Structure 1
Amino acid sequence: MEHMPPLPESLRHFVDWVAAYGMNAPGMVLAIAMRVPAAGGIKPVTGWVRSEASMPAGFRLTPARQAVLDAVSEEQPHTVTELSERSGASAAVIRGLAQAGLLEERMIDRPSVQKRPDPDYHPPILSPNQAAVAEALVHSVQAQRFEVTLLEGVTGSGKTEVYFEAVAACLREGKQVLVLLPEIVLTAQWTSRFAARFGVEPAVWHSELGHKTRRETWCAVESGQTRVVVGARSALFLPFTDLGLVVVDEEHESTYKQEEGVLYHGRDMAIVRARMARAAIVLVSATPSMETLANVEQGRYRHEQLDARHGGAQLPEISLLDLREHGPERGLFLSPVLCDAIEKRLEAGEQAMLFLNRRGYAPLTLCRACGHRIQCPNCSAWMVEHRARRVFACHHCERVEPLKPVCPECGAEHSLVPIGPGIERIDEEVRARFPQAKLLSMASDTLTSPAAMAEAVGRIANNDVNLIIGTQIVAKGWHFPNLTLVGVVDSDLGLGGGDLRAAERTMQLLHQVAGRAGRGEKPGQVMLQSYVSDHPVMQALQHNDFQAFMEQEAAQRRPGFWPPYGRLAAVIVSAPKESHAEQLARHIALNAPEGEGIQVLGPAPAPLALLRGRYRFRLLLRTRRGIAVQPLLRRWLGDVKLSKEAKLEIDIDPVSFM
């Protein structure tokens, strides 16, 4: 008989809240929380003890039966398997004794998934600034009430060590801790740091776990045995019963937004979960999101800052390489100035990193003969050449095709040429330019699990590698003391298009990448290759003035009540036929809400107008901050009739505009 414990009341309320806020179907949200117990059931473990009943009349005590009775305990229950091993008797013999009343079934206490972390295992030595901030976070936890604190600190300032003191305080209070990370591949290095501080590794929660581990972790969280969980955004839906602290590390990361199925923002819903549990929550970042900074400015969040790198390390020197003056040779992508700098670092026995946020070999392939571009038939996107795998791949629908020897349009042979670089192409250039370098490429499609990432990180830490080429996966909070040079191949990537947050995201990403340099005793250097060196993002990076840049961004958004000074909701209409999708979108637009502080933009084809074989049109509802968008959307869209082929998706607080 399988047993499924009721979800804690706080989790049921949270599920309802996420459904109502995001206008998601409640059953779909509930399914996230119920996925583990519903799939496998929570199976109680039972065993057998010796009963006090007397021997039934006529019951024959064979040697096998006697061996079982000799092996069984009167207090500690043993499973059938254990009794068979101890006595040598079969399961049938054990069942016969149970039917005769000589054995009694008892529940076996489920062992804890993890040992309890020790808050006093290895306390750190903190600087005065770190100690003061840590004390403030500890007080927030000890108050045992809902409170949001932004922990802002320059890269390498020891933010993790500082919020670990809040974790320690929560453990001393006997409460549970949830730490969210934006990428599951980051868990390996984080858990190692946690184990060094607390003596054991925490429980981990993400999609790569096996079902047995997920079920055991779910049970241990629900019973209160597990005290600390680190995981991806889905860990918000674990059945915590006594949550005392939530930490959202790298809170600015857009990967916290769930973009498919149930749409929700992990950071924002973490704040809701903490509020419902009356728990403290710490948002951690070197480059906080504008939404978080606006809440600090309005007095909703506390603000703690770490202004200096830990252990006397200095912030790196950042320089701009204007490619109009110091451009690479024809057909190449690395400036000679950057190559010379790499050469010097390698000769000095140090490590260098090249960053390009673009997977594959080339983002576009075209035919020299007819100009045809290799495009995904299912999406409004170019197929990306992955030369190592010898395929073209669409990064939106995951369609894969073999590399073509001839142009599919005109049939010309050897006419297809790659346009622009991906990291595979930079890897090719680097191997030719630095044949003695010990290279490592890091991208989400080559390092697909925490174990693979842990192996790569170990090789860098052991200096088995001296030149790293990577996508945004290398920008996260890695600590490599011997890494002294970071070169950004294309700093302008991400600045184009009509995305509201393009400049903010580029600033945050490049600031994070730059923060990998010079974290040890040796000074660091960052070189940004750019064709627009006078852009505000580039100037802010060069002068290390994140605050001034964000103030400038805020000044641009306030007048038009763009987030975080207003509210947005996207309405995405899709259908297999373009005319059908457009007609439905125009019909919806005719009934758009009107009023003071309310505006509807569109409909217009989405930037990805074709995605996975569906044509997409977008409308954007924008309101002033004090106007809730959900009631407007319910009145507006409540009576819309959809055909079987059409879909209507609502994205509250959209992060992506694709």
Structure 2
Amino acid sequence: MSLAPGTFVVVPLNRREMIGVVWDGPPDPDLPAARLKDVIEALEVPPMTASLRRFVEWVAGYTLSPPGAVLRMAMSVPAALDPPARQVGWTLAPRPPAEGAVRLTAERRRVLALLAPGEVRAGAALAEAAAVSPGVVRGLADAGFLVPALLPEAASPFARPDPEHPGQPLAEGGQAEAARALREAVARRRFGVTLLTGVTGSGKTEVYLDAVAECLRQGRQALVLLPEIALSAQWLERFRRRFGVAPALWHSELTAKTRRETWRAVAEGKAPVLVGARSALFLPFPDLGLIVVDEEHETAFKQEEGVVYHARDMAVVRARLAEAACVLVSATPSLETLTNAEQGRYARLHLDHRHGGASMPAVEAVDLRKHPPERGRFLSPPLIAAVTETLARGEQAMLFLNRRGYAPLTLCRTCGHRLRCPNCSAWLVEHRAQRRLQCHHCGHAEPPPLACPECGTAGSLVPIGPGVERVLEEASALWPEARRLVMASDTLPGPAAAAAAAQAIRDREVDLIIGTQIVAKGWHFPHLTLVGVVDADLGLAGGDLRAAERTVQLLHQVAGRAGREERPGRVLLQTFSPEHPVMRALVSGDLDAFMRAEAAARRPGGWPPFGRLAALIVSAEDEREADRAARDLGLAAPRGEGVQVLGPAPAPLALLRGRHRRRLLLRTRRDVAVQPILREWLSRVDVPGGVRVQVDVDPVGFL
């Protein structure tokens, strides 16, 4: 066999046969020839490109992951490595029986009349077209009139988008200028990163779709990453309007057959545009010309299990290795991305105005100390009045609370016992509609007990705090005539449900939307004019480094759903701290000033993006083993100028899925490479077999 680098092969490994990739690089001079085994088979699939091989190596090195674990993500559909099976049909026999030798009925003649010389058609399709039974087709074959033949290869399931298809015209000035700059960046066929910002509703999607069109004109492939696949419903409609066809999709909801076809189409260059979740970054594009990361600030782009990576940052690397343009898009960009733009690493384009002349919504803080809800309720009188007025005008309103279920905590009013997950250090969340208590970390679920499991008192368990189901209950009592819809990840389990919900809202079949963070991103509801945030303080608790930044981003995004067309929008933020910098920034609309203040607060301490962080998460089923391993790592911690190790300490989620967890945090100056420090640190400690040490370079969460 002649095997080039990138060829997919089957090889023997112990007593198994495994799929691998021929890699390039220097051979191992110390490997004895006697240990080498023959490759069993080379697979008929386009080879993995050099840029993707370098990307696998880069991600493995950066995240301190085994290269094989990263490679597995790039060949995540093993069935796609086998060529698709060719189907067999029927064609006219080259030497049919002599005329009169076999009686030809009218049905048989109709079948023969449908086939041109050399044409191959499937038996079922042939029978259907001739309006006969399949037995008539088989009878012609038995009589020698038809012979089996391979059907032609099926056309690509993905139609080529038309870059010249007339789409929504871009507004002169901001939109048109930004689109021109992005087209030029793609046409240069060189690596570069552009940050595209703009107020919510300013038409950023239409602008970067113009860059996708230029990528198609260049004959290259484009990848668009979305943080939530539920967002794809309205996004796909915009794509169809712009290009006349749908793009290829990549997400966890696809069937095995569709994943196989999509992976193969991407590898063969037959999927010109693909939109997907973060894992789409590892698909085998032969000529990637553009990567767009929409809502680049979203933490959903961070993979927390297995190979721990941030898809936004890895998208920049993938684009550099492929000599492609990269566009990061957000109305509320992360401080890391803003800093890169300010320091000249990224170009920046900004859209100042909403598309079509719509104005930004007016944002007001409702001080819950002055306007408290009724006892046992969660909506304040000013918010109730605003929703009532909005519904009376025939407009739509939204109540936002970033908390699923009915109540986040259930406790016994007799003894104070709190119902918690047996596998995690987390409270069980009541989902009253499904009559279950559930852990949102490990998935454990159980029916609500009739009596307190601690003291045995019957009927003493009470829900504490609101979730969206409890807000729905309150809204049902306040506005019984309003047609209500809950939008949360457990009520919209996939893209199809999200698309149906969005269509119902657009068709004005819904008056009041009650949702979690799934409603905050990307949706365009033309008749929605009021957004009420039930608990604007929710994300500020917990001491997370990025708590204020994330809260501003989330609430600004959800506020941006209001007043996106001709009717003005209004946003009410229920808060106990209207004087908090986050609330002041949202009311004033001056997010730039808030981000400057956030940067000024982080810079002196060297916190990201002005310093580097890497976390070690130690976990074990045995708590003592976790403590010992964490202690040993703490004793072996690196020392030196610009290097500091915090911990070990119990993780905020000290028990997760039955494993006890301890954390250590490495903090360094920005100019210090953390990977060599981490490798040397880990090499000094013997970790027992039952203990797992997960490395998280550039953590975005600290649970």
1:18 corresponds to which of 45, 50, 59: 59
Tell me whether 1:290 sits opposite 2:359 in the alignment.
no
Look up the match of 2:165: 121
Deviation for aligned residue 1:5: 3.9
Q: 1:135 to 1:104 in 2, by over 3 A?
A: same
Deviation for aligned residue 1:23: 1.2
Look up the match of 2:78: 37
2:347 corresponds to which of 280, 302, 306: 302
Task: Check the 8 A contact 1:179/1:246 in 2, yes or no.
Answer: yes
**In structure 2, what residue type is equivalent to 1:417?**
V
1:261-288 alpha-carbon deviations (Å, 9 max, x no partner): 1211111111111111111111000000
Deviation for aligned residue 1:215: 1.0
How far, CA to CA, are the matches of 1:567 and 1:295 in structure 2? 14
Look up the match of 2:686: 641
SS of match in other structure, 1:588: helix
Look up the match of 2:260: 215
Task: Check the 8 A contact 2:186/2:289 in 1, yes or no.
Answer: yes
**In structure 1, what residue type is equivalent to 2:66?**
A
Task: Check the 8 A contact 2:168/2:241 in 1, yes or no.
Answer: no
1:610-651 alpha-carbon deviations (Å, 9 max, x no partner): 101111000011111111111111111024323232111101
Look up the match of 1:8: 49
Q: Which is worse superposed, 46-55 or 236-245? A: 46-55
**In structure 1, what residue type is equivalent to 2:59?**
V
Look up the match of 1:496: 541
| Aligned-pair identity (%) | 60
Task: Check the 8 A contact 2:81/2:264 in 1, yes or no.
Answer: no
SS of match in other structure, 2:563: coil
Deviation for aligned residue 1:239: 1.2
Look up the match of 2:299: 254
Tell me whether 1:530 sits opposite 2:575 in the alignment.
yes
Deviation for aligned residue 1:109: 3.2
Deviation for aligned residue 1:542: 0.7
Tell me whether 1:318 sits opposite 2:363 in the alignment.
yes
**In structure 1, what residue type is equivalent to 2:509?**
D
Task: Check the 8 A contact 1:385/1:392 in 2, yes or no.
Answer: yes
Task: Check the 8 A contact 2:79/2:260 in 1, yes or no.
Answer: no
How far, CA to CA, are the matches of 1:81 and 1:389 in structure 2? 45
Task: Check the 8 A contact 1:49/1:72 in 2, yes or no.
Answer: no
Look up the match of 1:154: 199
How far, CA to CA, are the matches of 1:96 and 1:396 in structure 2? 65
Tell me whether 1:468 sits opposite 2:468 in the alignment.
no
Deviation for aligned residue 1:15: 1.7
Deviation for aligned residue 1:106: 6.3
1:52-91 alpha-carbon deviations (Å, 9 max, x no partner): 9999xxxxx9999x99999987755556877898996888
Look up the match of 1:266: 311
1:92-149 alpha-carbon deviations (Å, 9 max, x no partner): 998999xxxx979768334111211111212322222111111111111111111100
1:467-507 alpha-carbon deviations (Å, 9 max, x no partner): 11000000011111111110000000010112111110001
How far, CA to CA, are the matches of 2:241 and 2:186 in structure 1? 22
SS of match in other structure, 1:229: strand
SS of match in other structure, 1:35: coil
2:629 corresponds to which of 569, 584, 605: 584
1:510 corresponds to which of 544, 549, 555: 555
Look up the match of 1:58: none
How far, CA to CA, are the matches of 1:554 and 1:576 in structure 2? 40
Task: Check the 8 A contact 2:102/2:143 in 1, yes or no.
Answer: no
How far, CA to CA, are the matches of 2:386 and 2:196 in structure 1? 34
SS of match in other structure, 2:645: strand
Residues 508-587 of structure 1 aligned to structure 2 (within 5 Å): 508-587=553-632
Tell me whether 1:436 sits opposite 2:486 in the alignment.
no
How far, CA to CA, are the matches of 1:253 and 1:24 in structure 2? 23
SS of match in other structure, 1:148: strand
2:503 corresponds to which of 450, 458, 472: 458
Look up the match of 1:607: 652
SS of match in other structure, 1:332: coil
Task: Check the 8 A contact 1:47/1:108 in 2, yes or no.
Answer: no
What TM-score, normalized by structure 1, do the two folds share?
Answer: 0.93
**In structure 1, what residue type is equivalent to 2:60?**
A
1:596-620 alpha-carbon deviations (Å, 9 max, x no partner): 1111110000000010111100001
How far, CA to CA, are the matches of 1:274 and 1:47 in structure 2? 42
1:206 corresponds to which of 234, 251, 256: 251
Task: Check the 8 A contact 1:5/1:42 in 2, yes or no.
Answer: no
Look up the match of 1:177: 222
Deviation for aligned residue 1:453: 0.5
**In structure 2, what residue type is equivalent to 1:450?**
P
2:272 corresponds to which of 213, 224, 227: 227
**In structure 2, what residue type is equivalent to 1:419?**
I
**In structure 2, what residue type is equivalent to 1:192?**
E
Deviation for aligned residue 1:39: 6.8
Q: Which is worse superposed, 217-226 or 7-16? A: 7-16
Q: Which structure 1 segments of 5+ residues have no match?
A: 56-60
> Aligned Cα RMSD in Å?
2.6
Task: Check the 8 A contact 1:316/1:515 in 2, yes or no.
Answer: yes
How far, CA to CA, are the matches of 1:39 and 1:637 in structure 2? 37
Deviation for aligned residue 1:578: 1.6
How far, CA to CA, are the matches of 1:341 and 1:359 in structure 2? 24
SS of match in other structure, 1:411: coil
**In structure 2, what residue type is equivalent to 1:347?**
A
Task: Check the 8 A contact 1:188/1:453 in 2, yes or no.
Answer: yes
**In structure 1, what residue type is equivalent to 2:500?**
E
**In structure 2, what residue type is equivalent to 1:374?**
L
1:229-267 alpha-carbon deviations (Å, 9 max, x no partner): 111111111111111111110000000001111211111
How far, CA to CA, are the matches of 2:572 and 2:141 in structure 1? 73
SS of match in other structure, 1:167: helix
**In structure 1, what residue type is equivalent to 2:53?**
R
How far, CA to CA, are the matches of 1:94 and 1:277 in structure 2? 52
Task: Check the 8 A contact 1:345/1:351 in 2, yes or no.
Answer: yes
**In structure 1, what residue type is equivalent to 2:69?**
M
How far, CA to CA, are the matches of 1:372 and 1:457 in structure 2? 41
Q: 1:367 to 1:149 in 2, by over 3 A?
A: same
Tell me whether 1:479 sits opposite 2:524 in the alignment.
yes
Q: 1:45 to 1:84 in 2, by over 3 A?
A: farther
Q: 1:30 to 1:39 in 2, by over 3 A?
A: same
Q: Which structure 2 segments of 5+ residues have no match?
A: 1-40
Q: 1:63 to 1:175 in 2, by over 3 A?
A: farther
**How many equivalent pairs are there?**
649
Deviation for aligned residue 1:222: 1.2
**In structure 2, what residue type is equivalent to 1:197?**
R
Task: Check the 8 A contact 1:4/1:37 in 2, yes or no.
Answer: no
**In structure 2, what residue type is equivalent to 1:420?**
G
SS of match in other structure, 2:77: helix
SS of match in other structure, 1:380: coil
SS of match in other structure, 1:584: helix
Task: Check the 8 A contact 1:568/1:654 in 2, yes or no.
Answer: yes
Deviation for aligned residue 1:36: 1.3
Task: Check the 8 A contact 1:142/1:173 in 2, yes or no.
Answer: yes
